[in-house]
Structure 1
Amino acid sequence: MPCLAQEIAKKRFSKAQSQKKEWSKECLKEVKLRLENCEDPDQISNRMKMERKEAPSHETIYKMIYENRYEMGIYACKLRRKHKKRKQRGLKKQRRSPIPNRVGIEHRPEIIGKGHWEGDTVIGKNMKGAIATFADEESKFLIAQLMQDKTSQSLNQAAKESFKDIKHLQTFTFDNGGEFALHQDLTKTLGANCYFANPYHSWERGLNEHTNRLLRQYFPKKTDFTQLTNEEIQLAVMAINNRPRKSLNYLTANEVYFNHSNCQSLFYSSNLDLYKPVASHA
């Protein structure tokens, strides 16, 4: 019986494929006119039905465009999302590369004091180049370092360079990107345990997500990171750390991290001194 049912289903599918509906010239003319006016397929289909006209479904209109039926391929540029082909529906989210010996955020100790850092990467144009970002949960203090690529080796190198002079270092919290796969090596070198947020729970690392958006003000999407220098990144970081923050009662991250509440000016130098506020002598 299952074999017979499968054969019947195949015949029905084959018949349906061979009996594609032919649309009238008037119908196709109106669909093309509406596409030219930048209406989307859903609007076209339902409006024509409401007007009691012959109307293809919105999926059929998409197929007409992406399969270039009735010479309608030229209207792909009129769609809001100018994909070169129709995306398949119902696909599962792509699984990320597994993190060996991953420890979930639920096992992270209570956040008390400085030294609990959220880490992430900001990616450049065409997925080339990256910036490693680390934000202290208590003070919102940002550290960032240019990476050659998004590999775990480059991430660890950037982290080790960033934290070589940092005293406050207790934990790291990352997302599940493959660049954090060598977290055990990072723990061994820096002495801070690494924890991972749940997949697709970006709010568990809300500070880092917000801080990355601040960094994007200086390096918008489609910025070619291969043309950036680390000095340019540090100047942007310095500006962010010296910005009054509502969540800090309008103190700056620099002032909170370094326990200094007076007005400060920043002097550019290397390593940790780059971020440290120095009292103005003016």
Structure 2
Amino acid sequence: MTIPALPTYTMPAVEAFPTNKVSWTFEPAKAAFLIHDMQTYFVSFYERDSALMQTLLDNLVALKHFCKSHGIPVIYTAQPKEQNLADRALLNDMWGPGLNKSPELQQVVEALAPEEGDIVLDKWRYSAFQRSPLEHTLNELGRDQLLIGGIYGHIGCLMTAVDAFMRDIKPFMIGDAIADFSLEEHQMTLKYVAGRAGMVMSTASVIGQVAKAEPHALPDVLTHDGLLARIAKLVDEEEDAFDPDENLIDYGLDSVQIMALITEWRKHGVEINFVQLAETPTFNHWWMLLEQARNQVNMEGQV
């Protein structure tokens, strides 16, 4: 009656995405980003070292930073840790007591923890619109496009996309930023959205579409000052007190945060691997590696 242990599978590549029936243009000024149910409770049904979960987290972290840097509101859904029988109603029959049995797992996973200015909505049903102010919030923000990522694809993510469509809010399902009970159900979700209720996009296409529209503006993660500000924020250090030659691991930078940076650089065609960064984990050394990688990309005509 509860959620089963979930197998890992390979995150679908963009080449495997279904063909979209509509050709909407993603517009950051009209969009909000919904991070759906990424609570420790729901993530814990996957294997601890699941490659699927690592890919999902990398892409969600990259998307969240992209949204933050482009003024796109970030909205979370999260089930409360205390739910009475009336609140859960038929969910009891389908899934048992849920978080009532594991209240300590209620928080959003650390790598995606909500920040100041983010919106967190209580989640009561499959669709994020049910018994929530999501539609009112989007209207107040002047947003009629919704990026959707998180878990689980064929349940809450799909129902939210369909509900958005029926409310004349354009849903964009990020096909490599959701995870599901199985590859088959993941693919079913993408196929249904692409053919009946919205558009399917990849993480790279969301970020790259805006980059093409701003050809002269380098993303801050590729600039000296932008990267310095990002890392100082990650380690909770004031920039003017930050020592660029100090060991970043000693500062408190962890492997998840490092992988998120690597993922973002890759979105922009810049390849640096974890081993290179770990050899000399200082800001100045990382900036040297980044400049070298950027110059290589420029020589090849990719940036």
Query: Quick check: TM above 0.5?
Result: no
Using structure 1 for the length normalisation, give the TM-score: 0.28
Larger radius of gyration: 1
Higher relative contact order (CA 8 A, sep 6+): 2
